[in-house]
Amino acid sequence: MDRGELSVLVVDDDFRVANLHAGIVSALPGFVVGATVNSIAAARAVLAEGSFELALVDVYLPDGSGVDLVREIACDAMMLTAATESETVRAALSAGALGYLVKPFDHAVLAARLAGYARYRRLLGGPEVTAADVDAALAALRPGAAAASVSATGVTAAASPTKDLVLQAVRSADSALSAAQVAAAIGISRATAQRYLANLVGMGDLRMQLRYGSTGRPEQEYSAPRRG
């Protein structure tokens, strides 16, 4: 595994749900599924053998509460669960959970939370941070909370889960990507990807170049600007 990637442990008593969540994780650039397990005992076993940055944990597990697991593990954690009792939510947050998603939720919601978590890690990645870094990192964990204004392209200029996913996909790629490749990577339409890409180019966050094939019109490709 590339240590530049964030390793995720998926813990859910239903193996189909666990595999579904693992699939969403695997589809995001910068993330890798380290293990998928269905009980606290199995989670403890893989945690003892490997290193993880994030655990996605259900509350209802066959051998106990996922909240107790979150309380004891060293890595970051988010709860993905159908549990809606106020006491359980408070207990999970008190145990250290960085997020709490109530099932069922749209796949894009989890993808956005994961993209926000990656930003949270980047913002808090240095030996010291500013107050603004802390505020931005905490806001990144709740990507839908900030109000957004709409630019002339019809794409929100402020923080947006979809914009963050598009930007993360391009920045994490080994080579320039087309709008179709970005769309496939994060599960949106090509037209939507194109609008966000154009907006990010206009703001200077990405650059666009043309790729010429042997025949037909050239294709637009997007990459992160070179630094230095």
Per-residue pLDDT of the chain (228 residues; tens, 9 = 90+): 455 789 999 999 999 999 989 988 887 778 999 999 999 999 999 999 999 999 999 999 999 999 999 999 999 999 999 999 999 999 999 999 999 999 988 777 888 889 889 999 999 999 999 999 999 999 989 876 543 333 333 444 445 788 889 999 999 998 999 888 999 989 888 888 888 887 787 677 888 776 766 555 557 788 988 765
Burial 43-56 (b: 16+ CB within 10 A, else e): beebbeeeebbbbb
* Domain segments of the chain as ranges: 6-119, 161-223
Find the helix packing angle between 179-186 and 190-202, rounded to 10°: 110
What pLDDT is attached to residue 213? 62
In this structure, the number of other CB atoms found within 10 A of the CB of residue 146 comes to 12
Both tokens of 73, joined, read 């593990």
What pLDDT is attached to residue 143? 73
Q: Which of 81, 112, 106 is nearest to 95 (CA)?
A: 81
What pLDDT is attached to residue 204? 75
3-state secondary structure of 9: strand
Contact present, 41 and 69 (Cβ < 8 Å): no
DSSP state of 224: P
For 204: left if phi > 0, alpha if psi spans -120 to 50, otherwise beta; the answer is: left
CA atoms within 13 A on the CB side of 24: 21
What pLDDT is attached to residue 32? 94
CATH topology of domain 161-223: Arc Repressor Mutant, subunit A (1.10.10)
For 141: left if phi > 0, alpha if psi spans -120 to 50, otherwise beta; the answer is: alpha
The residues that bridge with 57 in the sheet, in sequence order, are 11, 79
Q: How many helices (H) and strands (E) in the chain?
A: 9, 9
Q: Does domain 6-119 have CATH number 3.40.50.2300?
A: yes
Q: CA Rg, the chain, in Å?
A: 19
